[in-house]
């Protein structure tokens, strides 16, 4: 009499403080302070941030990023900018674009046209006054985001489309809004609009604290900032989590020992400082089995994959983007 025992274990562990979070910022010299502050705040949230000091928008700079932010001073979002955003958002990207705080400036009008004409997601009317208007977070916010107001130089009313995220009163009932979100396309793309870049850096520490608490919770609420949690796991699992999260790599590295029959292995590392290694992050990855087909793509930079496969007829495909950490274990044991 023969008996067969097959056990399969699979563990996929993302070990960054946030998951799949990359950002790109367009800025100009006049908003370099805002860029520096914003970059620092996003990096504290776990983002990998790149920036372009230019008023021109180039799709290839951010097409693979999770978030693009435009704080490019007085620069217009002209036809090429609008087309780039239509493509990016249509593919599921997220854009935050901020005006320069002047209601009748060409940049302000081009942002309005992006909403109303290019994407056709809503109709707005700019308030024809520049001033330090109070702005409150609306909706599911807490903590510092609801401790009070910050200041926004321009407001707008929403005649159709979109969802207001910030308003000129704490209840969200005021007709004048400071932030709004517009969904576009069928892939989950989103456009976030505000009309004041000075929100991202100013001299009032209380306003800054409230604003960045609001921004963090907005990114979380809208599924752009995916926060990992270690609650409910053992101390050993927490240690393992932190080991993967803190692993650094210099140059692309691949360490794999393959033993078995009929394996097909395709590897593409298109970027810098990526690593494929065993799940202990020290030994070579071990693929020991029959008829395994693997496709390991690490597009971008700073990805770490720990992988060990023992078994037969497994079909595994792993794709990572930038600064992702994954541990993959597949095991098949047989006794006769």
Q: Compute the distance between CA of residue 163 and CA of residue 202 in angstroms, rounded to an integer.
A: 26
Angle at alpha carbon of residue 127, lines to 134 and 93, rounded to 5°: 80
Q: Is 1 exposed, middle or buried (0-12, 13-18, 19+ CB in 10 A)?
A: exposed
Indicate the domain borders of the chain: 22-221, 235-331
Instruction: Using DSSP bridges, classify how beta strands 275-277 and 304-312 pair: parallel, antiparallel or unpaired.
Output: parallel
Tokens found for residue 133: 């208007």
3-state class (DSSP) for residue 205? helix
SS3 content of the chain, % helix, strand, coil (to 5): 25, 35, 40
Rounded CA-CA distance 200/30 in Å is: 13
pLDDT of the residue at 241 = 61
Q: Which residues pair with 32 in a beta bridge?
A: none
- Virtual CA dihedral for 302, 307, 312, 318, nearest 10 degrees? -20
User: Can you give the length of the chain in residues?
Assistant: 336
Q: What is the pLDDT of residue 28?
A: 98
Contact 276, 285 (CB under 8 A): yes
For residue 88, give Cα distances in angstroms to 60, 130, 242, 333. Answer: 10, 31, 33, 46
pLDDT for the residue numbered 291: 80
| Topology adopted by domain 22-221 | Rossmann fold (3.40.50)
DSSP state of 100: B
Cβ neighbours of residue 236 closer than 8 Å, sequence gap 6 or more: none
Query: Beta-strand (E) ranges in the chain?
Result: 22-27, 48-53, 67-71, 94-98, 123-126, 133-137, 150-152, 156-160, 163-167, 177-184, 189-194, 253-254, 256-261, 264-270, 275-277, 285-290, 293-299, 304-312, 315-320, 325-331
Please tell me the distance from the alpha carbon of residue 148 to that of residue 320, in angstroms, as a whole number.
39
Six-digit token string for 190 = 């989103």
User: Cα(183)–Cα(189) distance, rounded to whole angstroms?
Assistant: 6
Compute CA 9 distance to the chain's CA centroid, rounded to the nearest angstrom. 30
| pTM summary value | 0.66
Q: What is the pLDDT along the chain (336 residues), one digit of tens a residue?
A: 333 333 333 444 443 333 448 999 999 999 999 999 999 999 998 899 999 999 999 999 999 999 999 999 999 999 999 999 999 999 999 999 999 999 999 999 999 999 999 999 999 999 999 999 999 999 889 999 999 999 999 999 999 999 999 999 999 999 999 999 999 999 999 999 999 999 999 999 999 999 999 999 999 989 888 654 444 555 565 566 667 766 778 888 888 887 777 878 888 888 888 888 888 888 888 888 778 788 888 877 888 888 888 776 777 777 776 667 777 766 654 444
Determine the pLDDT at residue 271. 82
Residue environment code for 238-262, b if the CB has 16+ CB neighbours within 10 A, otherwise e: eebbeebbeeeeeebeeebeeeeee
Which pLDDT score is estimated for 262? Answer: 80
Q: pLDDT at position 226, please?
A: 65
């Amino acid at each position: 009499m023969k008996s067969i025992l097959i056990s399969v274990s699979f563990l996929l562990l993302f070990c960054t403080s946030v998951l799949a979070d990359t950002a790109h910022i367009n800025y100009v010299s006049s908003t370099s302070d805002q860029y520096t502050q914003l970059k620092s705040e996003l990096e504290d949230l776990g983002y990998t941030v790149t920036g372009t000091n230019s008023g021109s928008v180039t799709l290839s700079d951010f097409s693979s990023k999770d978030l693009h932010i435009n704080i490019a001073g007085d620069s217009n979002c002209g036809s090429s900018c609008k087309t780039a955003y239509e493509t990016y958002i249509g593919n599921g990207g997220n854009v935050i674009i901020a005006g320069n705080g002047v209601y009748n400036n060409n940049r302000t009008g081009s942002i309005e046209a992006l909403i109303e004409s290019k994407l056709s997601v809503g109709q707005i009317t700019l308030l024809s006054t520049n001033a330090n208007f109070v702005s409150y977070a609306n909706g599911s916010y807490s903590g510092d985001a609801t401790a009070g107001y910050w200041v926004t130089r321009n407001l707008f009313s929403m005649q159709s489309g979109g969802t207001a995220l910030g308003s000129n009163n704490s209840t969200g009932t005021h007709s004048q809004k400071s932030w709004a979100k517009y969904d576009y396309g069928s892939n989950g793309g989103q456009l976030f609009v505000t009309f004041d870049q000075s929100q991202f850096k100013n001299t009032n520490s209380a306003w800054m604290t409230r604003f960045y608490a609001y921004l963090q919770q907005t990114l979380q609420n809208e599924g752009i900032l995916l926060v990992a949690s270690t609650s409910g796991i053992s101390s050993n699992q927490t240690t393992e989590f932190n080991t993967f999260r803190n692993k650094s790599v210099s140059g692309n590295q691949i360490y794999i020992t393959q033993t078995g029959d009929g394996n097909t292995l395709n590897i593409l590392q298109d970027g810098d400082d990526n690593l494929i290694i065993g799940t202990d992050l020290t030994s070579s990855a071990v693929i020991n089995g029959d008829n395994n087909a693997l496709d390991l793509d690490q597009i971008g930079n700073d990805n770490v994959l720990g992988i060990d496969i023992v078994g037969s007829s497994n079909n595994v495909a792993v794709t990572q983007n930038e600064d992702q950490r994954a541990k993959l274990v597949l095991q098949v044991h047989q006794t006769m």
